[in-house]
Amino acid sequence: MANNKSKEFKEKLSLSNTVNSTFEEPISNNLQEEWSSIDIETQAKRKKTSRASETDEQREVRLKIVQIRTSQVRSSETDIQREVRLDAARVCIAKTRSSEGDIQREVRLETAQVRTARSRRSLHIDLNLGAFNYNPNYNNSLHPSIDIGKMDKLCMYCCAFKFKTESPEMCCASGKVKLPELHLPVEPLLTLVLETHRSYDALQYPILFWQGEDEYHFNIKLRNPQTGEETDKKVSAMKYYSYRLMIRDNIENHILKCRQLFHQYIVDMYAKIETERLLYIRLNQTKLRSEEYINLRDAVVNDGNVNPNKLGKMIILPSTFSGSPRHMHDVNVFGETRCWMYSIEWQKVEKITPDQIDQVISAEIPDVNTDPDLFQIVTKNMIHGPCGLLNYNSPCMSEGKCTKRYPRDLLTETITGNDGYPLYRRRSTEDGGKSITLRLRNIDVEVDNRWVIPYLPLLLKTYKAHINVEYCNSVKSIKYICKYVNKGSDMAVFGMVNATASIDEIDQYQLGRYISSNEAIWRILSFPIHERHPTVVHLSVHLENGQRVYFTTENAHLRALSPPQTTLTAFFSLCRDDMFAKTLLYSEVPTYFTWNTSAKKFQRRKQGKVVEGHPNLYSTDALGRLFTVHPNNAECFYLRLLLRTWTDIFPKIENSKK
């Protein structure tokens, strides 16, 4: 049909051109516009069909060509052209997002997530098995994923220096935050800050702000980046201090030069940021309570005059607050789920041989002629001590022995020790090993491979730092790594309280938290704290009317009349309405469906790989994880077992009731 229309319009357009002197110009223009709209529609359909049939390799090649072409165009544009392009893009994005609905927004975010994951995988694809193919002639520190380049990208609004991959909103929220400049302290205050006074009281910084400048308060307004006028929205504490801590062109920021005082300052400022958030939660959620729906319903139905304040338990810190009990349960504790970690990768691979260990891990001084860069890094960062007879005052010494068991024995090849851990190859100088001479307490000391800390050459050349690498040869090692990565923040608090006393989770959190200067600056600049792939969707498991309900004094009766939807009840509804969903296990649903948090229902994915035999159905690598249930809760425990093994389970449950 589209081809017939195309021929028809081409004939009309040709006729219009031949009699152009007879007909008026607008007629030709109208035909041109009509033909252009059809041509664009045809091209869009052709492009969509072509991309749906392309392989992953073809797609990567196409995207690489587009990336090169785009970078060439943008490298030749002037600063004015760049500003015009960015302004036009911002206006277009703002207009599009203001008109999109909840479903469109979820599709956009899901598409962006898939695009980001694919981009990151392609960035590291050439590093696959790189540790087994170490090339001493290649400088790994220059890899695009490692080398962040120079901090020479200027923010067009506040002139802050940033690295090329950093967020444009990190410094001034894209022009919305504008603060007055700090005045440099005069002598002798400047000298005192830089040379003598490195640490001050946690709450007062008179030398940093020597003119008594106003700092953060609640009435600082965001500004319109285009007009510079104040808006009705306020600057948050995080945005304020993120702006204050940036390096800017032609403006000296003396706060960054204050060493330990700067560390103390940023810890205090992040504590202020967190306190602001906690205060908001305390003032707005102190009346929020939780209870199982069936208990709330029974209490309201059986006693219409029941006091909602006596139902359930108080909820203070929500799961969205990092470090809260619900956040630790929902996010941190379980970590990233990787099925191969327990079934495929660790149960089906062949036993690691000593040669394979030597390919990756080394405990020897490298040849200075073969790899001079690695030689310099190892001799500077990976030599233990020396200790023992050479230095009894070494920090590792205890009761006359090295707590790290150095010096190690010399071995001609890697073997497995009596405790199951590998003893790495450490060749003597007679067998081809190397040695160096170190200066220790004004004495030259010869150090050989017995003192080398095991390392991976690829990582050492990449990061040029001390990185100890060991072979994980037991399940305990794997569990330790998973626990360490997902252990959460450092907290410790101890006390004795009355059993009937109410629990204040905000006070518990603040008493037990620990904030370092590294964590403070990381959070102030809004760098990512958690990153996981693939996406893991938490799936509820509960008995009928056993879902948890959150209510206040005002809406307790209303909540009792209408039970909230959960992923489990939505799964049952999905199986009634969707034939394909009936073939899936509960845990398989997130692979093909997204969970709409606002509508509380599962929806078919709009992006991903086309499912074979279902042209309108897409799948991703998202995983579903059912919440754990203790065997003491027998009915719910067995329901979870059924959900993990049965498809289309809802009719079977209904029949069992009959």
Q: Which of 15, 31, 50 is the last residue of a domain?
A: 50
Confirm whether 499 is domain-assigned: no
Residues 465 and 541 in one domain: no
Question: Is 549 or 626 the better-scoring residue by pLDDT?
Answer: 626
Task: Say yes or no to pLDDT of 332 above 50.
Answer: no
Cite the beta strand spans of 475-565 per DSSP E: 536-539, 548-551
Calculate mean pLDDT across residues 492-509: 70
Q: Are residues 370 and 463 in the same domain?
A: yes
Whole domain around residue 478: which residue ranges? 354-484
The pLDDT value recorded for residue 381 is 92
> 405 in a domain, yes or no?
yes
User: 340 lies in a domain?
Assistant: no
Q: What percent of the chain has pLDDT over 90?
A: 13
| Judgement on whether residues 550 and 648 belong to the same structural domain of the protein | yes
Whether residue 551 sits in one domain with residue 443: no
339 versus 642: which is more confidently predicted?
642
- Number of domains within the chain: 4
Same domain? For 460 and 541 the reply is no
Tell me: pLDDT of 351 over 70: no
Q: Classify burial at 382, counting beta carbons within 10 Å of its beta carbon; exposed 0-12, middle 13-18, buried 19 or more.
A: buried
Closest C-alpha to 621, from 385, 340, 423, 410: 340
Question: How many Å from the N-terminal Cα to the C-terminal Cα in the chain?
Answer: 56
In a domain, 565, yes or no: yes
Q: Does residue 564 have a pLDDT over 70?
A: yes
Lowest average pLDDT, out of 73-82, 131-140, 632-641, goes to 131-140
Instruction: Tell whether the model's pLDDT for residue 374 goes beyond 50.
Output: yes
Could you tell me if residue 163 is inside a domain? yes
At residue 19, does pLDDT exceed 50? Answer: no
Same domain for 255 and 183, yes or no, is yes
Between CA 289 and CA 293 the distance in angstroms is 12
Does 618 have pLDDT greater than 80? yes
Around Cβ 424, how many Cβ atoms within 10 Å?
22
The per-residue pLDDT for 201 is 33
Does some domain include residue 40?
A: yes
Kindly state whether residues 473 and 376 are assigned to the same domain. yes
pLDDT-derived band at 592, boundaries 50, 70, 90: very high
181-203 pLDDT, tens digit each: 877 766 655 554 333 333 333 34
Residues 477 and 563 in one domain: no
Give the pLDDT band of residue 289 (cuts 50, 70, 90): low
pTM for the model stands at: 0.43
Mean of the per-residue pLDDT values for the chain? 75
Are 168 and 259 members of one domain?
Answer: yes
Asked if residue 546 and residue 442 are part of one domain, the reply reads no
Are 442 and 558 within one domain? no
Give the residue, 581 or 496, on which the prediction is more confident. Answer: 581
- The owner of tokens 């219409």 is 304
Residue 617: pLDDT over 70 = yes
Given a cut of 70, is residue 521 above it in pLDDT?
yes
In a domain, 28, yes or no: yes
Q: Tokens representing 1?
A: 């049909």
- Res. 358: pLDDT tops 70: yes
Within-domain flag for 548: yes
* Distance between CA atoms of residues 164 and 292, nearest Å: 49
Q: 477 and 554 in one domain?
A: no
- The winner for highest mean pLDDT among 110-114, 317-321, 414-418 is 414-418
pLDDT of amino acid 38? 56
Q: Which tokens is 251 given?
A: 């403006």
Per-residue exposure over 320-352, b if at least 16 CB sit within 10 Å of its own CB, e if not: ebbebebbbeebbebbeebeeeeeeeeeeeeee
Check pLDDT > 50 for residue 249.
yes
User: What does the DSSP 8-state code read for residue 532?
Assistant: -
- How far apart are the C-alpha atoms of 590 and 623, rounded to whole Å? 6
